[in-house]
Each structure stands twice: as C-alpha cells, then as structure tokens.
Amino acid sequence: MTETTKTHVILLACGSFNPITKGHIQMFERARDYLHKTGRFIVIGGIVSPVHDSYGKTGLVSSRHRLTMCQLAVQSSDWIRVDPWECYQDTWQTTCSVLEHHRDLMKRVTGCILSNVNTPSITPVIGQPQNESSQTIYQNNNNVSNKPTAAKILGKVGESLSRICCVRPPMERFTFVDENANLGTVMRYEEIELRILLLCGSDLLESFCIPGLWNEADMEVIVGEFGIVVVPRDGADPDRIMNHSSLLRKYKNNILVVKDDSNHPMSVVSSTKSRLALQHGDGHVVDYLCQPVIDYILKSQLYINASG
C-alpha cells in the first residue's frame, strides 16, 4: 500500500493516569509498531487524556497533578501528547464523548472528514467559509501539481496536534480554548483516510463484559464507529474476552489486538502497583515510573500516604 492509501491513525488513551507509568507509554509504542507492521496504517499521533476529577475513584489526585505528570512522562516523545480538555470540563465525561470531541476537533484542524470504521471516507473535503482569505494552507512554489500529499497533510496534522495537545497546565484550572478552528480556505484532501482509535489494555476491554458498567449505546459507538486497539496485559486474553460479549463479537473486525513476539515486562506495570511501591518506600518504583514523574511525586508529596 502507498502512503496515501494507508489509514492514518491517531491513538487516544483515556484513563486516570494516577500516576502515568512506563507501561502506559509502552502501550502507545507497542500499538504504533504493530499497526505499522500490518502495512495498513500510519500512526501520526498519540493523545493521553486524563479523566476528570469528578470520576470519583478512591485516591485519585487532582487533575493538575495528573496532567503535569503526564506531560513529564511524554516530554521526550515526538508523537505522544497530553490533552487537558477532559479535565477542564465541568464534570466527568464518558469515553464516548471524549472520542467524539477529538473527532470533531480534528475535523476542524485538518479539514478532513474523519471516517468511521464502517463508513470509510473516500474523498475527505474541507468546508471553510468562502469569505476567508484565498491563500491556501499549503504553498508549492515549484511548477508541479498543487495537490496536497500525505506528507504535507501529516505535517499539518502534526503541527496542529502539537498546538492542541502540548499544553502545559498551570497550577490553577483554566478554560480550554481551541485556537485551531479556522485554518484556511476550501481544499480537497484526496485519498487520505484519518481515524481516531481508542487505545486500551485488555483489562479495559474486559470491563465491556461487565453488565451495567458501560452504557450500551456508548459501546456501540466506541466499537462500532471508532474502533479499538488493544494491548494485552496482565495475562488477559483479548480473544477470550471478545467471545464473552455479543457486542464485541459483532464488531470483532473493528478491534485490533496488538500481537508481537515479546511479552514486554511493562505489560504488568500498573498505577496501582506504582502507588503501593511509593507508599511502602519500595525502590522498585523506578521500574514503574520515569524519573521526572518520581521527582514530581516526591516534591508534591503524592501517594505517600495510603489515603492517596
């Protein structure tokens, strides 16, 4: 497949990130490597979206701390970013609503009509007001076709993702402002398909099988319209999990299970283990968390007490 015929993917991970671990970062890396190896996808970005404070989980520290720790954890990455939108809403947001927010935002930022897994968009089109400046987003000073290439689009998406997601949260809450809603005039992006896929561990996939835990309509949208990339962890078998849910079986083709040759040690690393190690003064915490996150936790005196 050529670059323009591959599906361009943004991986979105939602969760508490309380705190964010090396395992979370490895989840992104393993997913990207696997999707690239399939030859069908190009991963152009990753988004970490920490949950709102009102999620109500015991021991959940303030979003200002979790956002800062996430930012520290991805500061050396050139493709994974932290997005504060979910934390800055008035209340807790469902995973479905977070996915829909980012889909709508990326429509405005890239100009592409993002496709669902069941309704691929053959020719995404920008629809900007006609009374704007006639200057196009991309300039080509050579006497060749002005048709946007995948490389140009990826560059624009990457630039936009950096502006959207690379937000270093201040100490106090502030309103998220989308500065990227108006990027230019009408332009046609041919043969470029862009999707946002939910990235998760097999433990989250398993939670889909718990009666009453998830809203059925939300699950239909998440799995049926967006699609999921699952990284196996803690010995949970995604294929076995999917066989226990009629909805997951129905949309099995929309669930991409990362399969690689390594049983990566980070697959068993969890935020819970990290918090326990911090509470017990366990030196193995360096195996779970990156050093900048550990330094921030110690400085801010987080998780040291059993109360969180």
SS (H, E, C) the chain: CCCCCCEEEEEEEEECCCCCCHHHHHHHHHHHHHHHHHCCEEEEEEEEEECCHHHCCCCCCCHHHHHHHHHHHCCCCCCEEECCCCCCCCCCCCHHHHHHHHHHHHHHHHCCCCCCCCCCCCCCECCCCCCCCCCCCCCCCCCCCCCCCHHHHHHHHHHHHHHHHECCCCCCCCCCCCCCCCCCCCCECCCCEEEEEEEEEHHHHHHCCCCCCCCHHHHHHHHHHHCEEEECCCCCCHHHHHHCCHHHHHCHHHEEECCCCCCCHHHHCCHHHHHHHHHCCCCCHHHHCCHHHHHHHHHHCCCCCCCC
Please state the rounded mean pLDDT for residues 34-52. 95
The token pair that represents 119 in the structure block: 């309704």
Asked whether the predicted pLDDT for residue 218 surpasses 80, the reply is: yes
Asked whether the predicted pLDDT for residue 146 surpasses 80, the reply is: no
Q: What pLDDT, on the 0 to 100 scale, is given for residue 11?
A: 97
Asked whether the predicted pLDDT for residue 135 surpasses 90, the reply is: no
Over pLDDT 70: what percentage of the chain? 68
Average pLDDT over all residues of the chain: 77
* HSE-CB for 240 with a 13 A CA cutoff: 6
Distance between start and end Cα atoms, the chain: 49
Which of 29-33, 236-240, 294-298 is the least confident region?
Answer: 236-240
Confidence of residue 235 (pLDDT cuts 50, 70, 90): low
Q: What pLDDT, on the 0 to 100 scale, is given for residue 63?
A: 96
Q: What pLDDT, on the 0 to 100 scale, is given for residue 60?
A: 95
pLDDT: which is higher, 189 or 301: 301
Asked whether the predicted pLDDT for residue 117 surpasses 50, the reply is: no
pTM score of the predicted model? 0.77
Q: Which CATH entry fits the domain spanning 7-115+192-265: 3.40.1360.10, 3.30.1310.10, 3.40.50.920, 3.40.50.620?
A: 3.40.50.620
pLDDT: which is higher, 269 or 173: 269
Confidence of residue 156 (pLDDT cuts 50, 70, 90): low
